[in-house]
A and B are shown apart, each in its own frame.
Chain A
Amino acid sequence: MARKEEESERSKSFTRRALFLAGGQAALLAALAGRMYYLQIVESDRYLTLAEENRINLRLVPPTRGYIVDRFGQPLARNQQDFRLVMVREQISELDVTLARLSQVINLSDKEIERIRRDIRRKRGFVPVTIRENLPWRDVAQIEVNSPDLPGVFIEAGETREYPYGGVLSHILGYVGAVSEKELTGDPLLELPGFSIGKNGIELKYEERLRGAAGTSQVEVNAYGRVIRELSREDGQAGQTLVLTIDAGLQTFVHQRLMSEQSAAAVILDIRNGDVLALSSVPSYDPSAFNIGLSNEQWQGLINDPLHPLTNKSINGTFAPGSTFKMIVALAAMEMGIGSDYKVFCPGHMQLGRSRFHCWKRGGHGWLNMIQGIQRSCDVYFYDIARKVGIDNISVMAKRLGLGALTGIDLPHERAGVIPTRDWKLANIGEPWQGGETLVTSIGQGFVLTTPLQLGVMAARLASGKAVTPRLARGIRADVAPEFEAPPIPEFESLGFKQAHLDIIHRSMDAVSNSERGTAYAYRITEEGQELAGKTGTSQVRRITMAERAAGVTKNEQLPWRRRDHGLFVAYAPIHNPRYACAVVVEHGGGSKSAAPIARDILLEAQRRDPAVRPTVPLLADTGNLLNEG
């Protein structure tokens, strides 16, 4: 019986404890239900949002970059479809078989196959691995035909920038390239792999206009970032088509004409509105090389080339203007009250203190008035009047004509050059101005430095008497052609010269080219009504020693190229009602006779083509200030 009681006692104890366990379990299960309530009801919205954020990825769709066209709509920079061959590993069952088949179609080298295999190992199975870039059209067709045998191999279309004119326009257009660390602004578009932005030239200057706005695409992705499907898409806005003032035909002509020299720069612009019709600097470079990617050797070759092919010498090269500066001295003198009939006797030199300043012509020019001084480019005449005018007045006049300051051309890396004054010398050299330096300045030597574009602007301002300012962008192309309307001509302000003074300058430059004793008579335009008026310039790059002078001035042709004089020529045409202004600088050309024929050919070609009067592409009405984002 005792045992039975014990049994019953134990049974009660067991029941108690088992029920206690069951109750505990029920409580814990209730706790799970409570947690479920908290997560799925109380916090549900928050987690739903997180789940959507996990799942939905906003992707940027890069915009198509805007074209750049010349004034007649000729494309200068456009986008070319390029084809890239890629493979997706997870869609390929037998990699070896696929690679072998591919090799039969497009001839893969062992090195390429090795790289592809390496890439495949590194990347996740669904990430496309590039087999080859810039696939030629023939290969694209071959792959497409064989596509049933090549599962997992795809052709991806992308866009690369193409410059149909190559080196002819490379200094103006610049180039595009991958975004560097420094150029990141926080705009996610810039962080897209493979996105290119303007690095130089117009591409850089009008980047905002050309870039356009990114579109967005909502895609569903899985945990590995793989895109499952596109949920919605918002198209971006393509970049605007930028119309330049350039005439591609004339530009090509100018570029090819300059190619006769080792290193030269030229500009021709429309005097009435400042449109730069051609702006060239040789040697140049092929901008598409920057797209494909330069090798280190190619890059080193470009930057170490003594002829500086990467430098746009027309705006970034500074040269002593030489005798092309003389009109400035003459204008300053006339404003000072020195008449054009003021005469000077040139014995071939001028003595100032203990120094002797030579004229380029040994033996001298004899008696000359102002027009003759310019016509024959007599140095002594300008030494004489410069002493009376003084350096500061000459500087003021030079700056009025556009020298010594940025022209404001819409290109990066423009240089201002130097127009010296007394204060400038004190500040920059730390020495007071010497009287002799005024004489040297008057013939465009010494401290004076100008860019070819500034000289072209000077020629335009001398021709028109107005504050001509150059520009390269005309506007944004209108999609729908409106009724033809005259392009907006910027009204330039008058520079305030007396017409009589301008007439003297015009007659002088006319005489330079079109009278037998003019220094550029050999390079005149003979076509009736197209005659040019110009001014020669020769700027020394070395000092001529007394010994040399005594032995007779060495001929330039006998000097090494690097020590030869620069040749310069500024001109406008036609003489009556001038429309085109031109400046040519031939680096180490050996004197103005290298530059003058080039300027003549350019002006002749310009008048033959006459781009300033032919109808141009329609523009959007309100393209007032292109550089201020509107």
Chain B
Amino acid sequence: MAISGKTLQSPTKNMNLAEKLWQVNWGLIFLVSAISFIGFTMLYSAADGSMDPWASRQAVRFAAGLVMMLCLAVVDIRFWFRHAYGIYFAVLVLLGAVEVMGTVGMGAQRWIDLKVIQLQPSELMKVALILALARYFHGLSKEEIGRPFSLIVPLGLVIAPAALVLKQPDLGTTLVLVAAAGAVFFCAGVRLWKFALVIVAGGAAVPIAWQFLHEYQQRRVLTFLDPETDPLGAGYHILQSKIALGSGGLTGRGFLQGTQAHLNFLPEKQTDFIFTMMAEEWGMIGGLCLLVLYALVLAYGFAIALRCRNRFGSLLAVGLTVNLFLYVFINIAMVMGLVPVVGVPLPLISYGGTAMLTVMAGFGLLISASVHRDIRISRRGVAEQL
């Protein structure tokens, strides 16, 4: 055996369910549950001390998400490897369908009405894209990665959904998609000068693309980039959010006592601005605790990526972890007035079905990568004999 003797079972041998469950990162699940529990209490507070309408439904969704996460986690990673492209294209079709039949929600086409659930394909795409990219880069040798031609396919995988999401228009999700994909490219070993080239080329393309936009589209983009031009809209929201945060102080104003949130000065307090509400009621101490919990989850993600012995799993773990980080960072930076207002929810805490589903699915895949960390996958997707 070429690899160390630590591996107790043969990587070729399929683990049974009990073994897999034993391998599941229960510490990570504990952290995820803790963060979600904080979310329930904040939703309880957002409803002025009531389980309805948000906290109870969010708890049900979390429970469902937890079961789904465990199911995804014990599915063999080779299954995900084999169906990565299939999942990707299915979501891409859904994304295209939004263009055709999507209902208009929140001022942009984002939702697809499946009667049972309102689906937001752009959320699902965040996971699907990482799956597809991880599979693609898994199959490349070092020399192949060095060839510029081999980057055409993955770039296409990124650009197709990014363009669709941008057209909705949802610049926030587009940026998250592109940034998470960039992290996969980066960890796959793409040379740094190529990143520089793409950034420069992209920058050069902006003024050209600008010419093709309608005037109302241009105005929308400008308002997005500079909310101060819309003082009663986004600018007002950010100011109220900063007031809420600042008035929280070190220890906060107390559970259910946040005046900014409860007197409705704070907009969207159950979704995008839920962190503000928490920091108002529980102060800097509460906010830091949440940040630490997220940091621990991210650390878990990187640890899984580093311990994974197949590239697919490593890249998947990095992509999912970066994706989670982007959610957390953009949301918190937004409510603190550090970045423009974009509709990015706080994972596990903000009220919302699709976001919860996507995040839990991401954790499921992450844990799957962890459980199956020692399984080797050939470039074509079969477990290798060693």
The winner among B186, B265, B294 for most chain A CB atoms within 10 A is B265
Stretch from A155-163, A218-226, A420-428, A499-507 that touches the partner: A218-226
Contacts known (A28-B329, A32-B329, A41-B284); A50 close to B243, Cβ less than 8 A: yes
CB pair A41 B260 closer than 8 Å: no
Complex contacts, B294 vs chain A, CB 8 Å = 29
Distance of A47 Cα from B295 Cα, bound (Å): 28
Complex contacts, A10 vs chain B, CB 8 Å = 142, 189, 311
CB pair B336 A48 closer than 8 Å: no
Distance of A411 Cα from B314 Cα, bound (Å): 94
Contacts known (A39-B242, A48-B246, A51-B260); A32 close to B189, Cβ less than 8 A: no
CB pair B242 A14 closer than 8 Å: no
Complex contacts, B265 vs chain A, CB 8 Å = 51, 54-55, 222-223
B263-309 interface (Cβ within 8 A of A): 263-265, 279, 283-284, 287-288, 291, 294-295, 298-299, 302, 305-306
Stretch from A15-23, A320-328, A343-351, A462-470 that touches the partner: A15-23
CB pair B291 A22 closer than 8 Å: no
Interface magnitude class on chain B:
35 or more
CB pair B187 A17 closer than 8 Å: yes
CB pair A40 B249 closer than 8 Å: yes
A35-92 interface (Cβ within 8 A of B): 35-37, 39-41, 43-44, 46-48, 50-52, 54-55
- State whether the Cβ of A106 lies closer than 8 Å to any Cβ in chain B: no
**Helix, strand, loop or mixed for chain A's interface?**
helix
Q: Quote the shortest CB–CB distance from A279 to chain B (angstroms).
A: 56
**Helix, strand, loop or mixed for chain B's interface?**
helix
Complex contacts, A256 vs chain B, CB 8 Å = none
Distance of A376 Cα from B249 Cα, bound (Å): 96
Complex contacts, A43 vs chain B, CB 8 Å = 246
Distance of A39 Cα from B279 Cα, bound (Å): 10
- State whether the Cβ of A6 lies closer than 8 Å to any Cβ in chain B: yes
- State whether the Cβ of B333 lies closer than 8 Å to any Cβ in chain A: yes
- Number of A-B residue pairs, CB cutoff 8 Å, is 133
- State whether the Cβ of B221 lies closer than 8 Å to any Cβ in chain A: no
- State whether the Cβ of A9 lies closer than 8 Å to any Cβ in chain B: yes
B4-42 interface (Cβ within 8 A of A): none
Complex contacts, B263 vs chain A, CB 8 Å = 54-55, 220-223, 228
Q: Quote the shortest CB–CB distance from A31 to chain B (angstroms).
A: 8
Q: Quote the shortest CB–CB distance from B189 to chain A (angstroms).
A: 5
- State whether the Cβ of B103 lies closer than 8 Å to any Cβ in chain A: no
Distance of A550 Cα from B187 Cα, bound (Å): 128
Distance of A474 Cα from B382 Cα, bound (Å): 110
CB pair A40 B250 closer than 8 Å: yes
Q: Point out the residue from B187, B262, B328 that lies within 8 Å of A14, measured CB to CB.
A: B187
Q: Point out the residue from A18, A46, A47, A51 that lies within 8 Å of B302, measured CB to CB.
A: A18
- State whether the Cβ of B354 lies closer than 8 Å to any Cβ in chain A: no
CB pair B141 A6 closer than 8 Å: yes
Q: Point out the residue from A15, A21, A44 that lies within 8 Å of B246, measured CB to CB.
A: A44
Distance of A39 Cα from B298 Cα, bound (Å): 25
CB pair B329 A14 closer than 8 Å: no
The winner among B248, B263, B305, B328 for most chain A CB atoms within 10 A is B263
B314-345 interface (Cβ within 8 A of A): 314, 318, 322, 325, 328-329, 332-333, 336, 338
- State whether the Cβ of A33 lies closer than 8 Å to any Cβ in chain B: yes
CB pair B243 A6 closer than 8 Å: no
Chain A residue nearest to B236 (CB atoms) is: A223
CB pair A36 B245 closer than 8 Å: yes
CB pair B283 A40 closer than 8 Å: yes
- State whether the Cβ of A100 lies closer than 8 Å to any Cβ in chain B: no
Complex contacts, B378 vs chain A, CB 8 Å = none
Complex contacts, B141 vs chain A, CB 8 Å = 6
* A-contact 0/1 string along B233-257, CB 8 Å cutoff: 0000000101111111110000000
Q: Quote the shortest CB–CB distance from B178 to chain A (angstroms).
A: 15
- State whether the Cβ of B151 lies closer than 8 Å to any Cβ in chain A: no
Q: Point out the residue from B244, B311, B314, B336 that lies within 8 Å of A35, measured CB to CB.
A: B336
Q: Point out the residue from B245, B287, B305 that lies within 8 Å of A47, measured CB to CB.
A: B245
Contacts known (A40-B248, A40-B283, A47-B243); A21 close to B189, Cβ less than 8 A: no
Chain B residue nearest to A6 (CB atoms) is: B142
- State whether the Cβ of B183 lies closer than 8 Å to any Cβ in chain A: yes
Chain B residue nearest to A40 (CB atoms) is: B284
Complex contacts, B243 vs chain A, CB 8 Å = 47, 50-51, 54
Distance of A40 Cα from B278 Cα, bound (Å): 12
CB pair B305 A54 closer than 8 Å: no
CB pair B245 A18 closer than 8 Å: no
- State whether the Cβ of A26 lies closer than 8 Å to any Cβ in chain B: yes
Complex contacts, A13 vs chain B, CB 8 Å = 189
Complex contacts, A232 vs chain B, CB 8 Å = none
Complex contacts, A146 vs chain B, CB 8 Å = none
Q: Point out the residue from B248, B262, B264, B318 that lies within 8 Å of A21, measured CB to CB.
A: B318
Q: Quote the shortest CB–CB distance from B195 to chain A (angstroms).
A: 11
Complex contacts, B302 vs chain A, CB 8 Å = 18-19, 21-22
Distance of A392 Cα from B264 Cα, bound (Å): 79
Contacts known (A15-B306, A21-B186); A51 close to B259, Cβ less than 8 A: yes
Chain B residue nearest to A23 (CB atoms) is: B302
Distance of A13 Cα from B259 Cα, bound (Å): 50
Chain B residue nearest to A53 (CB atoms) is: B243
Distance of A40 Cα from B279 Cα, bound (Å): 9
CB pair B288 A25 closer than 8 Å: no
B195-249 interface (Cβ within 8 A of A): 240, 242-249
CB pair B288 A18 closer than 8 Å: no
CB pair B336 A55 closer than 8 Å: no
Residues of chain B touching chain A, judged by Cβ–Cβ distance below 8 Å, are 2, 141-142, 183, 186-189, 240, 242-250, 259-260, 262-265, 279, 283-284, 287-288, 291, 294-295, 298-299, 302, 305-306, 311, 314, 318, 322, 325, 328-329, 332-333, 336, 338
Besides A17-B187, A25-B298, A29-B328, 8 other A-B contacts (C-beta < 8 A): A10-B142, A22-B298, A36-B291, A40-B248, A40-B287, A47-B246, A50-B246, A222-B263
Sort A-B residue pairs by CB-CB distance and give the 9 closest, nearest first: A47-B246, A51-B247, A222-B263, A223-B264, A40-B284, A48-B247, A44-B249, A223-B265, A22-B302
What are 10 pairs between A and B in contact, CB < 8 Å?
A14-B314, A19-B302, A21-B183, A25-B322, A29-B291, A32-B332, A36-B288, A39-B246, A54-B265, A222-B264
Residues of chain A touching chain B, judged by Cβ–Cβ distance below 8 Å, are 4, 6, 9-10, 13-15, 17-19, 21-22, 25-26, 28-29, 32-33, 35-37, 39-41, 43-44, 46-48, 50-52, 54-55, 220-224, 228
